[in-house]
Structures are given as C-alpha cells and as structure tokens.
Amino acid sequence: MTELKKTPMWKIHEEAGARMIDFSGYYLPVSYTGIDKEIMATRENVSIVEVSDMGRYEIKGKYAYKIMEMVTPRDIQGMSDMKCGYTYYLNERGGYRDDTIIGKLNNEHFFNVCNAGSQTKKVLAWVKNFVKIVEDLTGEPHEFIDWTEKTTMFAVQGPNYKVILDNLGVPDTGRWKIIEAEVEGAKCLFTGTGYTGEMGFEVTIFDSTVENPEKGIKVWNAILKAGEEVGIALCGLGARDALRIEAGLPLYGEDIHEDVNPIEAGYDFPVFMKVDKEPWFFGKEAILKAMEEGVKIKHVGIILLEKGIPRAGYDILNQDGEKIGYMCNGVRSPVLNAGIGMGYVDIEYSKPDTEVFVQIRKKQVPAKVVKLPFYDTSKWGWKRNK
C-alpha cells in the first residue's frame, strides 16, 4: 500500500480530533465536529481549512505575462496588478486540462494555484513547456518556482472573515485582491479567494514544510486566536465539498475534465475567453469551432424534490424515463434541506425549472433543474454583502 502524503498540519488535525481520510493520496481531515455543523459555521460565521495539497507555482521574468496569455484564455494584460482571478488551461480539443487561480503581482510576476496531486504535476509540466518556448523566442530567462511542498496554505471562509484580518493587522483582501504581509514573522501571501461561495481569503505561508511546519503552525494558531471573539470553526473536506456544490463551483475530475469545454460547462464563459482579441492561447481554434457549431450538452444544477441524495454517475431522466444526462456529484445540503448536485443534460433540458428525474438505485426520484448557485444569494454567499 502506498503511504499517504502528509501536509504540514497533519499532527495539528489529529490533535484537534479530526477524522482523517485518504483524499487523492493525501492524509487530510474530512471533519472535526460534523459536516453539517461545519457547513453552517462557514455560511453563518467563519471557518478555517487547510488546503496545502493544492499546487502552487511562481513565474518571474520580462515576458511572464506572455506565458500566461499562451496557456490560459484570460485577458492577462487586462488584469490589474495585485489582483487574482479564475481561469483554466485547455487542451487541443478545447477541453479542460485544469482550472486555476492566477495571481498577478505585475506583468513580470505571477503566483498561481492549481489542483492537487497528479494535476499539479501535469499542470507544472505543461506550463514549463511554454516557459521554454517563450525563453527560446525572446532569449530572456524566466524563473519558475514550484512552491507546492515548500509552503503551507489555509482557506478562511465566511461572512466574519474580516474580523480575522483586522485582528491580524492585515488589510481587507475583498474579492480577488492580493496582499503581501507578515504574520508571526512568517512571510505570507493573502488572496481574496476561496471555494465556498462566501467572502474570505486564502493564505500561503512560505518556507513551511512537512519537515519544518513551524511557520505554518504559528500562522494557524494566530488565525484561531484572531477568530476567538467570533468563534472561528475548524472545517474539513466534507464540508468544503458540500459548500462548493451549494455555490455551484466546479471540481476538476467531476464537473470539468478533458472531454468537456468551457461553453458546455458554462462557467462565466464570456468573461474569461479572449476569443475576440489578438493574443493566441492554446485551444483557441477548438473553442472558436465549438462556438460556431454550438453545444449539445450543458452543465446544470439539480435539486431533488423528494428525500434522497444524487451521487456521481447517477442517470438523469426525462418525463418518459429516457436518459438525458448524468450526475457529476451530489450531497445533502443543510442550507436547502435537500439533496443537490450538478450534472450534464442534453441542451433542450437545461433551462431552470425543467422537471426531470434522477435514477437512485431502483427509484426514479423527481427533481428539477435550477440556476446556480443553489441558494438564495440575498441570504447566503458573497453577494449578500454587496
């Protein structure tokens, strides 16, 4: 049996009473006090979860922006300095190679976060190819640093996140801002990002490793102390997955993968694709073709109208019992008190409020297509703060 990879905080999780599991080859906490409690603590207050398994890399050099333009369809030069944003890497068919958060400190300096495990290796090798291409074309050297195993990373999510920043003496990250700061003598990079639909931030602590986790532990404890007045909760992977499904956020390997493109997936496609602009990006030709031909399937939210939980791989049926799609995932949402999940359906069944069924074992459970996110955005998620 292959030994699970440890993160810098694994002993801290055990000492806190977490239930630990194998998550994509990593030894990580699934829950501390119960998944539903941790979900509601995040939605109503604030929580912290370790996300050190995510991939992290840095590119520095005169044409760093050009590398990012070539590997993603985002308008890189249109991004402001000290801002970050969501985008993705595409394959030659226009499918997802991975999705990513790009952090732009300036045109010559980027700090990016990608998915964990084998995805990290795949993405870093892919980006390195384009670093070499740009170096060969320009004659300019570029610095590429893999920070994945040299840093620790936490996500602090929930409406009371700013209490934590205030007590740490760190400026508000808002949505998508980048802040460089020191906490307990540790160099940190704060970003106004997260994976729950709530306001919050993610923080990367440099020079904190599995072998020498002291800096990460100090920052973790500082965050917990900063959140004492509001009762910050510890959060595990179970709640994190349910939170992102409630928010309608994609997971690579489930909702998005090599065989679906961003038009089919529907994640703010017009915002991120620069197809009407000059810079070339890998996969552009395939995307242009998909736009011209249209799509046959669409990624949607599904909510059950009776008791049950939809799971990955379950069939989605029409009123005649014919298969029209499949579920990518599913959970029970304590916010909606219902079984919810995301999946792909034939395009003619993709409109909100379309009545469908989900095949759960031998029963066809009534359900409907809903607009994402699942929850009322005036009550939950970052938009309620607007």
Equal fold, 56-146 vs 296-372: no
Residue with tokens 């100090």: 218
Phi then psi for 208, rounded to 5 degrees? -130, 115
Q: What is the CATH number of domain 10-54+149-244?
A: 3.30.1360.120
pLDDT of residue 282: 95
The pLDDT tens digits for 67-108 are 999 999 999 999 999 999 999 999 999 999 999 999 999 999
One-letter amino acid identity for 325? G
Q: Give the whole-angstrom CA distance, residue 119 versus residue 28.
A: 17
Give the three-class secondary structure for 119.
Answer: helix
Q: Which two tokens stand for residue 280?
A: 């070339």
Q: Which two tokens stand for residue 215?
A: 């800096």
202 is in an annotated binding site: yes
C-beta atoms surrounding 339 within 10 Å: 23
* Concatenated DSSP letters of 353-383: T-EEEEEETTEEEEEEEEPSSSS-TTTSSGG
Q: What is the CATH number of domain 296-372?
A: 2.40.30.110
The pLDDT tens digits for 321-360 are 999 999 999 999 999 999 999 999 999 999 999 999 999 9
Domain edges within the chain = 10-54+149-244, 56-146, 296-372
Own/partner contacts of 323-328, CB < 8 Å, gap of 24 or more, are 324/349, 324/356, 325/297, 325/349, 327/302, 327/358, 328/251, 328/254, 328/255, 328/299
The CATH number of domain 56-146, selected from 2.40.128.120, 3.30.70.1400, 3.20.20.70, 3.40.50.2000: 3.30.70.1400
The pLDDT tens digits for 1-43 are 568 999 999 999 999 999 999 988 899 999 999 999 999 999 9
